[in-house]
Amino acid sequence: MNQAELIQLGASLAAVLFVAWLVGKVGLGADPRIEDAGHAIRLAEEAEAGFKGVEVARDRAGFAAIVQNAEGRMMLVRAHGNFFAARPVDASVEGRLDKDFLTLTMPERTFGAVTLQLGKDAGVWASRMREFSRG
């Protein structure tokens, strides 16, 4: 290799390392998770002014959670790209229980269906959703 090729190789390597550092600094490619109940409550409260979460059903992997307030209203919080998105859970939301899994399908199709692995609590949260369809 001549000197010009070595300089070009070094510059290319420096550029690749800079871009990799920048991607990490900006948070692109991150794998956001809901860390715990407190984190889920904060996300729901940020999504809707005045919403005060008191109870949480967090997916075991941390990709989504259902947050309920003292009045019984619920908010679904989910990972969406590098961020989180939240939507209210009401009578328009379809819920399907399958053993330890609860799948919620929002009327807003772009939000997508969300499956939460809730273990033995899946049935409890599914029954809470049935209250919406009765009310």
Distance of CA 4 to the CA centre of its chain: 49
Beta carbons of 95 and 68 less than 8 angstroms apart = no
CA dist 116 and 97 (Å) reads 10
Q: Is the pTM of this model over 0.85?
A: no
| Cα–chain center distance at 24 | 20
Q: What is the pLDDT of residues 79-92, one digit of tens each?
A: 887 889 999 999 88
CB 84 within 8 A of CB 67: no
DSSP annotation of 120 reads G
How many Å apart are CA 110 and CA 85, to the nearest integer? 12
Tell me the one-letter amino acid at 133: S
pLDDT score recorded for residue 29: 61
Question: Sorting pLDDT into bands at 50, 70 and 90, what band is 132?
Answer: low
In tens, the pLDDT along 39-65 reads 999 999 999 999 999 999 999 999 999
How does pLDDT run across 25-40, given as a tens digit for each residue?
666 666 789 999 999 9
- For β-strands 74-80 and 83-89, DSSP reports them as antiparallel
